[in-house]
Amino acid sequence: MSTPAQPITFLKGHGTENDFVIIPDPEGRLELSAAEVARLCDRRAGIGADGLLRIVRSAAHPEARAMADAAEWFMDYRNSDGSVAEMCGNGVRVFAHCLERMALAEPGELAVATRAGVRRVTLGEDGAITVGMGRAVLPGPGLTVTVDGRSLSARHVDMGNPHAVAFVDSLDEAGRLLEAPGVAPAEAVPNGTNVEFVVDRGPRHVALRVHERGSGETRSCGTGACAVMVAAARRDGLDPAADGETVTYTVDVPGGSLIITERADGEVEMTGPAVVVAEGILDPSLLEGA
Ligand SMILES: N[C@@H](CCC[C@H](N)C(=O)O)C(=O)O
């Protein structure tokens, strides 16, 4: 990154403890390399986060320009290793909350451009935020997830980004999750995938652990919770688009709970919190040598 003329401000926030460094960059002047994003997200040498959200005007970003009429703001999401991902469900809530906090958006409804398309966000007066997450796509063939030397059948669900959802009897079956689980066939997920392990907690109530592509195990994943809800509904014989009935599940994550609804038109909605815990200015030395 070239030396910026102005100090770089940041916010730190989370959604169900999936945490983010948020960098407002309305005119799109900060092109952060993968190494710079990884340094910012480093929990010892940096600020520390599961991912980074750059707030850029859609018109100022080549990947978002075509969405500028529909959504003024583009969420440039990066995983903690610096890799680019299409979509981040918890991130969209935190992103919208930051826009409102910075008076860049009115309370109420707002559209956010992402690499997976435009997402509609409703900022509730009670602090809960609902996001229209689009339709789930379930590519036909199943996947096999290998973790701790065990192979598990998994459902492939695309929520704009890829997920492999494996139902287990105990979340301990995922082991320590220090490394990415194996997923086969590799050709089905050519860009890698997020992997969710799921147990039942009660009627229309499940809990998950997740290993995120590019970030490792995190305490929540919004797109993952949506993928899990849809996989659980199909397993339970429910398909709102075919049955004409809206279905809602509670999805517990290690960092809290998300409410996920699949409507009769196939649209998946996620409701959950967004929190900002700090605001600050980057010391320019943080990115030196990254
Ligand atoms: N934590 C996110 C998902 C972030 C992207 C993911 N790691 C990927 O690479 O697809 C969420 O809340 O959805």
Residue with tokens 């710079």: 36
Residue 179 CA to ligand 1 center (angstroms) comes to 16
* Per-residue pLDDT band at 15 (split at 50, 70, 90): very high
Tell which one of 50, 87, 97 to mutate to probe ligand 1, the residue whose CB is within 8 A of the most ligand atoms.
87
Tell which one of 53, 76, 79 to mutate to probe ligand 1, the residue whose CB is within 8 A of the most ligand atoms.
79
Residue 85 CA to ligand 1 center (angstroms) comes to 7
Determine the Cα–Cα distance for residues 65 and 95; give it in Å rounded to an integer.
Answer: 18
CATH of 9-128+275-287, one of 3.40.50.300, 3.10.310.10, 3.65.10.10, 3.40.1360.10: 3.10.310.10
* Contact in structure between 78 and 84 (CB atoms under 8 Å): yes
* Per-residue pLDDT band at 150 (split at 50, 70, 90): very high
- pLDDT number for residue 141: 86
Kindly report whether the global pTM for this prediction surpasses the value 0.95.
Answer: yes
- Ligand 1 residue neighbourhood (C-beta within 6 Å): 18, 51, 79, 85, 88-91, 161, 194, 212-215, 218, 221-224
The string over 81-98, giving b where at least 16 C-beta atoms fall within 10 Å of a residue's C-beta and e elsewhere, is ebbebbbbbbbbbbbbbb
Task: Detail the residues annotated as belonging to a binding site for substrate.
Answer: 18, 79, 89-90, 161, 194, 212-213, 222-223
Residue 65: phi, psi to the nearest 5? Answer: -50, -40
Closest residue CA from atom 4 of ligand 1: 88
* Per-residue pLDDT band at 5 (split at 50, 70, 90): low
- pLDDT number for residue 6: 76
Residue 5 CA to ligand 1 center (angstroms) comes to 32
**pLDDT at 209 exceeding the cut of 70:** yes
Q: Where are the domains of the chain?
A: 9-128+275-287, 143-270
Residue 94 CA to ligand 1 center (angstroms) comes to 13
- pLDDT number for residue 140: 79
Q: Where does 143-270 sit in CATH, by number?
A: 3.10.310.10
- pLDDT number for residue 259: 98
- pLDDT higher at 141 or 220: 220
DSSP, collapsed to helix, strand or coil, labels residue 226 as: helix
Enumerate the active-site residues: 88, 221
- pLDDT number for residue 107: 86
Q: Where are the alpha helices (DSSP H) in the chain?
A: 34-41, 89-101, 222-235, 240-243
